[in-house]
Structure 1
Amino acid sequence: MTDEAVTDPRHPLSSWPSDLSAFCFEVPHSPEALLFTSGKGVRLADAAGRSYLDALSGVFVTCFGYDCEPIVSAVTDQLRTLPFNPPLHGTNQAALDLARALVDLAPAGITAAKLVNGGSESVEAAMRLARLYHRAHGEPGRVKVLGYYHGYHGATFGSLSLTGRPDTTRFGPGLPGIVHVWPPDCLESFWDVPPERSGALAAAMIERTIEAEGPDSVAALVVEPVIHLRGMALPPDGYLPALREVCDRHGVLLVFDEIVTGFGRTGQPFAAQTYGVTPDILCAGKGISGGYAPLAAVLMAGHIAAVLGEEGGPVSFAPSHTYAANPLAAAAGLAAVTLFREGGWPARIRELAAYTELRLREAAGGRGTVRAAGLLYGVKLTGPGERLGERVASACLRRGLILRGQDDWVVLAPAFVTTTAETDETARILGEALDEVCGAAR
């Protein structure tokens, strides 16, 4: 793709067949939608032969890039050996090995893993598990689940109900028993609460909400440690430990939705370790398979797993899904986890993260505030007009850079294998897009 082609705002981005009537797109089709044909390293190609630098890892998924040979080989070998097993009659060795590897990677106290197909299923399972836990302990009235306004937890009915965003209401009333609460960054944005106070105040508001709803009616609090759809809003110091204390005080289970933050993104295996707080249930997904198969997991502490079977022995949690713990997905996940554990990736992630943060701050200048947690970045934008995030993301895409933009923010999540030269390219293009949308840096 020539420089002229990628910087011309009139240049068409995609090359589509004439008949699209049979295909239902995941998001509304737009003139910017791309028909991807191949990927290598951190770059993608479309049907028109154009190349794109993917600074979003697909969508927080392809952490080892698009041509990771150890994962490709593991999936290929598994495909030739056992592509599927009858789930009503047993499981497979790759699934058993992956569950043990995930538990070993997780914070101390996590003892079991249930494998599922995606993040939405993981959150759904966590909600069911929370209710089941309290029922098993003689409190069947604990059915309410608290979650953030402006969070995001998935697209199935229960996970979408937990997602506190106005655009979910077009499907009608959500799951009964969902209660939404304000996260700290909303207090900062809406009411100018300073960051040094927002965490304590938000935790206190959640505790008041639990008390107002009746603690004996609340099963769980589900939170994203870093809130993606708030432009990667970071937890203030002391906030997550305060939530742990609030939940313990009222017998409420604390659930971390780490679909985005898990599997090395924050520099540790999970954000729970980065922020020093262990939840009762941890939902993991996205990069857990490196993007080579649909895969997610529900990781649970020992006291949660104990209601599903003998302590230290086999546990079971049904109903489940036909493709849960599928041999191909499990093989991809096991290869990805093994590579992460044995390839020295945490240290490499932290080194790349520090360099990337510096370059993004330089690119943003005075036009946005950079939020960083490992290789997760949000840029909270300032500038003229509305829909800054979408406009900056569009300007980047025309120049051959993939990131995500919405409202007044853009987010990036570079692959672990990104080079410093590719980081420099990302920062350069982002800077050019900001020049176009927000004006030159001061």
Structure 2
Amino acid sequence: MVDLFAEELPSDPPAEAADPHAPLADRLRPASLDAIVGQDHLTGPDGAIGRMIAAGKLSSMVLWGPPGTGKTSIARLLADAVGLRFVALSAVFSGVADLKKIFSEARVAAKAGRRTLLFVDEIHRFNRSQQDGFLPFVEDGTITLVGATTENPSFELNAALLSRCQVLILRRLGPEALASLLDRAEALVGRSLPLTTDAREALIASADGDGRFLLNQAETLFDVGLDEPLDPAGLASFLQRRVAVYDKDREGHYNLISALHKSIRGSDPQAALYYLARMLVAGEEPLFVLRRLVRTAVEDIGLADPQALVQCLAAKDAYDFLGSPEGELAIVQACLYLAAAPKSNAAYKAQKAAWRSARETGSLMPPMNIVNAPTKMMKEAGYGKDYAYDHDTEDGFSGADYWPEEMTAQAYYHPVNRGFEAKIAERLAFWDEKRRQRRKQH
């Protein structure tokens, strides 16, 4: 007997032949996981995805990687590999109503014995409450969630959702992987790209690891009737070079500023200049870079070269005065000065130690002899009594004890034996010896 009130089971759309008018990148979508290029660390036999496929069971996952590295293709092929129903949506164009409908259909499918793989492109675009909506359906197995994002999941996704997903990192495509995509494109179209060998390499380099961008550029070259192959110069004038991926409020921003800081700390002016150029060419605010340079001057150089801070502040003033692009040369000068300067984090470590000590000791009173006595009553109470005025001593140094009575003298600052701090170390050692002699005398 047929149940007329049974819920209709949704099904996958019928397979379609590749549309000859579709973009080249779509026509070249891989038909199996082993055809994915550049991600063998995931799709190979020893990779996380390869092992899941071999076991015949997928866990929910987040595919994190740059644009054009195969996230969507991998998701589609995963569903085919383990026999899951495939549903895809984009977080850019979808809302709560779309999710409710998908979850409802997935429950119906699950009752019929067919699980659903839900692929969510740009999953980081969903807000926190929308992300929470996935949790019950992931937990009870109604859906296997595969999210794709170009943003760092630890910043953009809820901790609760992340704890239920495996984060798999896709790598930007290297020259060999990109070259293989061009080979496939030429085989599909049936002719070679109208490029010299050097121009072909330049085209691959211009893609910046993005396979989709590379294929779109290749399609443009296929579509025009060129009589002679283009050389690198001809290619550069014919195609616009891809703009570097750089979102000022997202991970690329923080990756590059971190690389700049660490290159300076590592005394590599060439690498520091490269990352500085990457940021400024991509449109970063020069004042943001200058703030980091000032931070680097006091954190990683400090008193090993006190002029480092002066150079940074002078660069800021010069940039304020000149603007771009002339003022950017002052930023370059400050960057190179910092990278070439002797390094010390002694002041940085001293600050942390002193702050920690201040929090632990609370409100201890300084010794009475160094406390100011602006009133008669305070003088009578012993404030400022027996204070040794250093300038009245022979060496301009009294060697007095300036620490609270409840504390022993601390040593927060330990200058390194580099740059100007080496002289500071000698001076501190001289004063320490004077203090020891004074204690022996008393």
TM-score, normalised relative to structure 1: 0.20
**Which has more strand, going by share of residues?**
1
Rg larger in 1 or in 2?
2
Q: Specify which structure has the higher proportion of helix.
A: 2
